[in-house]
Amino acid sequence: MMEDTSQEIAASALPEGALPVQTAIDELQSLYPQARYDLNFSTPLDLLVATLLAAQCTDERVNAVTKDLFQKYRSAEDYVAASQEELEQDVRKTGFYRQKARQIRAACQYLVTNYNGEVPRTIAELVKIPGVGRKTANIVLSNAFGITEGFIVDTHVGRLVKRFGWTQQDDPVKAELELMRLIPRQEWLSLAHRIIYHGRAVCVARSPHCVQCTLAAVCPSSTYRQ
């Protein structure tokens, strides 16, 4: 019964002319049934570090770097104990390595000081960690702990939901709040992952492949809408 109510709320709040939410949920599920967060991790701390490293870097490159990194650094204390220069070299291949090393060490120092080195389990606590915003907090909370408090809005999601007509917000936090009102809560995590996959494969930033898109007929931004 609760699921039906969520669907009704989503439908009633949908902007006029927007791609129907349930249509997108069903189609993207059929296209990407195994969609998941693509960064490899074993612990919540691993995921936090990997997500920080993923800024302006491909998931494939991050996974290549963290394969050895996570063997060397197994706790927040390990990152804090490392010198800035040593950690810079360990994450160098992810780009912007000086900034990322500082960010990781600051985040881990915060965890050691405030949470005995453990990653907290609420968005309110996570966003207080240096370098962590709502996107990273949502990623860690939902993928590491199975707790869904919000909707992941990365670059791909932000682009596609505007094209779908679900929001006109450029600010990720404002877009997230609108998406949370439109989309049933039980779909937040899986749909975000599937939108990311679709954004990489079809609805790319420049010259989206609308001719290949199975949502083209109902997408307000499609050049092939009939």
Ordered by start, the domain boundaries in the chain are 2-31+151-218, 44-145
**Is 67 among the residues known to form the active site?**
no
Per annotation, catalytic residue among 46, 90, 100, 154: 154
User: Residues at the annotated binding site?
Assistant: 203, 210, 213, 219
**Is 135 among the residues known to form the active site?**
yes
Residues 193 and 36: beta-carbon distance below 8 Å: yes
Average pLDDT, the chain: 93
Q: Which long-range contacts (CB under 8 A, 24 or more apart) does 195-198 make?
A: 195/28, 195/156, 195/157, 195/160, 195/161, 196/35, 196/152, 196/154, 196/156, 196/157, 197/28, 197/31, 197/32, 197/35, 198/28, 198/31, 198/32, 198/156, 198/160
Q: Which fold has domain 2-31+151-218?
A: Endonuclease Iii, domain 2 (1.10.1670)
Per annotation, catalytic residue among 135, 170, 171, 174: 135
Using pLDDT thresholds of 50, 70 and 90, give the confidence band for residue 171. very high
pLDDT digits (tens, 9 = 90+) for 37-53: 999 999 999 999 999 99
CATH architecture of 44-145: Orthogonal Bundle (1.10)
For the whole model, what pTM was predicted?
0.90
User: Residues at the annotated binding site for [4Fe-4S] cluster?
Assistant: 203, 210, 213, 219
Residue 183: per-residue pLDDT: 96
pLDDT digits (tens, 9 = 90+) for 43-101: 999 999 999 999 999 999 999 999 999 999 999 999 999 999 999 999 999 999 999 99
pLDDT digits (tens, 9 = 90+) for 126-161: 999 999 999 999 999 999 999 999 999 999 999 999
